[in-house]
Structures are given as C-alpha cells and as structure tokens.
Structure 1
Amino acid sequence: MDNVLTRNNTEPVVSVGPVVLAVPGRAVALQLRISFPLAGGDLPIILLSHGQGRSNNLSSMNGYGPLVQAWAAQGFVVIQPTHLSSRTLQLDPATPGAPLFWRSRAEDMRLILDQLGTIEAAVPALAGRLDPSRVAVAGHSMGGHTAGLLLGAQLLDEEGAQVSLAEPRIRAGVLLAAPGDGGGSLSAYATENLAFFRHPSFAEMTTPALVVVGDHDVSTHLTTRGAAWHADPYYLSAGSKSLLTIVGGEHGLGGISGYDAAETTDEHPARVALVAQLTGAYLRTALDPDDGSWPLASQALQAHVPSLGYIESK
C-alpha cells in the first residue's frame, strides 16, 4: 500500500488533560484534552466530538486515541471535550437536555473557540502556535450529529422550533458514521425516544465536509434503512462534499474510538489507519487549498487498496 495511506505516526506528540473551563450555567465544568505535535507553528485545529458508545471512558475526552494520535502526528491540534452526555460524569438523568444533550454538545464547541486564548494560557507549550483561521470539526456517531449541526445542518427541536447552530469559524468537517435522515428512515425506538432525530435538514449544511460510512453499519436501533442511512449527510447536503465508504466497516469503522476497545465489532487496524490518514489528508487540503494531500491520498486508495474503501465527491 502506498505510504500516503499507511505512514507511521512516528512524529512525537503531546497530550494534556484535563484542561478545565468554567462555564456559567453548565451542569459541570467543561473538561478538555488537548493533543498536538511537539514541533511546528501555525497549527490547524480539529474539534473532536465523541460518540455515545457502551463503554464509560471512550465517550469522553479520553477516547479516540487512534484518530487523535494520527491527527496530531500529521500537524493538527486536536481538542476533545467531555460532553454532558458522557457516562464518566454520571449526571442525574433529570438534568435538562439528558440523556444526549444534543444542543449542549454544539455549544461546547463554540465555547472552546471563544476560549482559545484561555486554552493556550493553560497549555504553555501551545502558546503562539495555534492558527484560529483554520478550524475543523470531526465527530463519530452522535458526535457526527454534533459536527453536522456546526457545519450547518438544522433540525426541529422538541417544541417544533427550527434550530440552526452553524458556526462560521469552522471551515471544514468530518462526519464519521453520523446519523442520517428522519421520518420513515428511523426505527420505532428512535422515533419515540429521540425527537431531535425526527426532522433533520441537511440542505443548509454547505460547509465542506467528508462523510465517512461503513458499508456494514446497519444500526438497527436507529434506522430501518441499513448502512445507506449514514450516507444521507452526503447525498442530502449542498456544497463541496466527499463520501468515503469503508468496505466491511461497521459502526466503529475498524476501532477508531479506542485501541483494542471491547465494543468494537469490526476490529481492523488497517481500516483504522486508512480512516485516520484519509480524514487527516482531507482536512489538510480543505483548510489549505494549496495542500495536495487529499487528491494524493484519494489516488493512492484507488490505485493500491480499493478493497478497503472508495471515494466519491460532488
């Protein structure tokens, strides 16, 4: 396989956490993990929103090591919040917004951007090294829903009001195994219990994004349409988009949420490496059009390992 897809992540990186931001009105303070390369300046930023898996710690700032390590080694500063939905917080189920806190998740990301100066002050090794003009968001599963809202997707809330949480400071995104359309696409469970899933609109999601799906990600607890449901954010959105389909990939896309995670149903290290390298390449080019990483990685995938995945764009 071409080294653009399998390059070893040997660049030394630093991970600092928890970095704690006091947030008036939030049920608890916002805890962050910040990961970044030892060297370099003008570093682009990825805000990473965790999913809502069965384990306790993967759905927090402590998860997604395979992606975070790779992205930081590729020159990104990765900022991971622990959303209020994380089991690590053990919040009262009666807390407003529980259990998934869909609105608070997006607000966490906005607050991080508002507080980049505070974050730099808390992590002196980052001082003067961030490039706030190059910010991306990425999210897995429920985190993909969060990322979609920040990229412009809209929904009807529990009271039937149209909600837009688009964040103009975010210039690109990656949606990993994210939710798709509502209505008849939803399972009975999702229709009854997840009202914010019922009426999404991707038409307003115009910010450039890469949608990553596994062709075996059936997610029967959420949808009746099988793996195709997760590609809706690509097909139903406007603007520049790409779709990466991982052959054989299930909801964990080979294990992106953690090393040797018990909840991964399709453990496949090469699949994880592919997702990490291609998503990093996409974001480097999306944030800097003069960077040719994405077309090179796309060509390498087609030429050397088409059995692992394929890409289409619009």
Structure 2
Amino acid sequence: MKALKISFFILLVVALGLMGMSVVYAPQGFPEGSMTDQRAALHHYAIRSESIALRDDSRSTQANKDVPAKAGREFTGLVFSPNLDAPPRKPFPLVIYSHGFSSSHKGGEYLGRYLAGLGFVVAMVDFPLTNMYAEGGPFVKDVVNQPADVSFLIDVLLERSQRQGDTLSGLIDPERIGVMGVSLGGFTSTLLAYHPAMGDPRVDAAISIAGPSSLFTDRFFTSRSLPFMMIGGTYDVLVPYETNAAPFQTKAPNAWLISIEGGAHTAFSGPTAAFRFLDNVDVIG
C-alpha cells in the first residue's frame, strides 16, 4: 500500500509539472499584424458544430487481438459548418478530415473550426480500429478499410444535405469534395485520391499532412490528376520529411509541397500544443 501511495504521489507531481510547463510554454499566438495573424483570424461565417454517431451495416469490423469481430463499422465525431439558420442557404465545399494512427478526430478540431468559418462543411470521425481508444488497441493495418469509411461518411452527409429540414439541408455542394488528414489520415486521403480500387471519384482535391508516401511509386499517381497538397515538417522523425514529403512533387502531377522548417510530426495535432516545452514534440509519438 505504501508503494502504491508513493507511485501515485510521483505521478501526481509529474502531471502537475507537465501542466505547469504547458502553461508557461503555451503558444503565444502569431505576431500582431503579421500576415499569418491576419490569416488565422480570418472568418466569414459564424460556426455551427454537431456531434454525430454513425454505423455502416454493409461492412464488418475485423477481430482485434482478443476482441472478436463485429457486425458493422461504427463512428463518432463532429461536423463543423457555417451557421446559416436564416434563408437563403447556399452549398459549400465538403472536406473530410482523417485522424492519424493512435489518435482521434479531436486532433483536427482546430482545422474544422477554422475552415467552417471560411465557408466549408468539415466532418471528422474516429475510425473503428486506428483511433487511440480502439478496443484491443490501435491496429494500423485497418487503414485499408478507411477509404471506404470516408466514402460512407460522404454518402451520409450528401444524403442529409438533400433532406428537407435537416441541419445540413442545402449546405453541401456535391461537386466540391475534398479530403485531408494527418499522418495515417494523410495516407488515407492519398488512397482516396489516387487508388484505382479504394479511391473515390467524387474527391476533387486532397491534402496529406505528414502522411507516409515513400511506398508509392510514380505509377500510383497516374490513375487520376487532381489538386494535391503535401504538408511536411522538416523535423519529422516519425514520417521522415526527406523520404516522404520532399520527393512528392516529382511523383504526383499537379501537386504542391508546403515545407515547415523545424516542424515536427506530432505537432500537427491540436492537443500537442500544450507540449511545446519539448525540443521536439515527436518524443510523445
């Protein structure tokens, strides 16, 4: 019992220490009046957020360690949209955000809020087996099922946009759909954009943030031509910049590369902002 109390005390001290350091080293915002500060503050619409819980009964969730297989694939997450309660309504582009491995949709909330304020409908969910709370633990190989998960989410949201009286009624333009994601979510977005079988032809543009791409050959990107942006940090130690982000433009036509000097991999997820006292937040990963 004494050892348990000592362990608890040590953990409490460490937790309080991390909280204190996170306050001291919390992000201070961009220099006032800078172009970045102006861009970050830009918004055209008030924002509405909605929690969602969905189930795709057409596909199953495979067994994961000692957790048996399940009928259906279940998702919980959020939808951000411009708040247009008063008519007339107009359709906006739809963006689906995909989280990284052993993460959750919460890592992309800051992106969803920002884009909704600019005039996008943004949806994000926890994938059944790669999120941090997955029963049996996160299982990376389930990524092969995530493009179909995103396509299912697109189906649901487009149907809701066509439904009278729905909170999303008339808000989504089916001709303007984009996907984006961080790390394994960026990999998922790349599959949706280019894979001949897993891809979704409704996807018009894609962004991969620190997503793996080294295993894709030039041939992979010949199936489609669409606007694609790769964003990578040069300090990424989990998905190395030199072998994944840097060569991307030589592989994919109509691609852009945004390089963040000194940027780490894990730093693209919103909740890690509290750990900026670390030299490289990737040590968490």
- So what's the TM-score if we normalise by structure 1? 0.63
The reply on whether 1:246 has 2:255 as its aligned counterpart is: no
Mapping for residues 178-189 of structure 1, pairs under 5 Å: 178-182=211-215
Write the distance in 2 (CA, Å) between the matches of 1:111 and 1:264: 40
Match 1:213 to one of 201, 210, 232? 232
* Alpha-carbon spacing, 1:216–1:99, altered in 2? closer, same or farther (3 Å): closer
Code of the residue aligned with 1:114 in structure 2: it is: D
Note the aligned Cα RMSD (angstroms): 3.2
- Residue 126 of structure 1 aligns to a residue whose secondary structure is coil
Q: 1:8, CA displacement in angstroms?
A: 4.2
Q: Which moved more, 1:126-135 or 1:33-42?
A: 33-42
Higher radius of gyration, 1 or 2? 2
* Alpha-carbon spacing, 1:230–1:116, altered in 2? closer, same or farther (3 Å): same
Equivalent residues, number = 230
Which residues of structure 2 form unaligned runs of 5+?
Answer: 1-33, 62-72
The reply on whether 1:67 has 2:143 as its aligned counterpart is: no
Mapping for residues 114-125 of structure 1, pairs under 5 Å: 114-120=155-161, 124-125=166-167
Which residues of structure 1 form unaligned runs of 5+?
Answer: 54-58, 155-162, 183-196, 269-314
Mapping for residues 1-314 of structure 1, pairs under 5 Å: 1-2=34-35, 5-9=39-43, 11-27=45-61, 28-39=73-84, 41-53=90-102, 59-84=103-128, 85-91=130-136, 98-120=139-161, 124-152=166-194, 154=195, 164-182=197-215, 201-204=220-223, 206-219=225-238, 226-231=240-245, 234-252=248-266, 254-258=267-271, 260-262=273-275
- Residue 147 of structure 1 aligns to a residue whose secondary structure is helix
- Residue 125 of structure 1 aligns to a residue whose secondary structure is coil
- Residue 87 of structure 1 aligns to a residue whose secondary structure is coil
- So what's the TM-score if we normalise by structure 2? 0.69
CA contact (8 A) 1:66 1:257 kept: yes
CA contact (8 A) 1:50 1:140 kept: yes
CA contact (8 A) 2:97 2:123 kept: yes
CA contact (8 A) 2:234 2:262 kept: yes
CA contact (8 A) 1:14 1:38 kept: yes
CA contact (8 A) 1:45 1:136 kept: yes
- Residue 107 of structure 1 aligns to a residue whose secondary structure is helix
CA deviations 1:23-76 (Å, max 9, x no partner) are 3333232334211111352110001110014xxxxx223331221111111111
* Alpha-carbon spacing, 1:202–1:218, altered in 2? closer, same or farther (3 Å): farther
Write the distance in 2 (CA, Å) between the matches of 1:180 and 1:262: 27
Q: 1:168, CA displacement in angstroms?
A: 0.9
Q: 1:91, CA displacement in angstroms?
A: 4.3
- Residue 173 of structure 1 aligns to a residue whose secondary structure is strand
Write the distance in 2 (CA, Å) between the matches of 1:181 and 1:78: 28
Write the distance in 1 (CA, Å) between the matches of 2:131 and 2:190: 19
Name which structure has the greater RCO, CA cutoff 8 Å, separation 6+. 1
Q: 1:174, CA displacement in angstroms?
A: 0.7
* Alpha-carbon spacing, 1:23–1:267, altered in 2? closer, same or farther (3 Å): farther
Code of the residue aligned with 1:78 in structure 2: it is: V
- Residue 127 of structure 1 aligns to a residue whose secondary structure is coil
Which residue is equivalent to 2:31? none
Write the distance in 1 (CA, Å) between the matches of 2:277 and 2:172: 33
CA contact (8 A) 2:50 2:78 kept: yes
Write the distance in 1 (CA, Å) between the matches of 2:164 and 2:50: 10
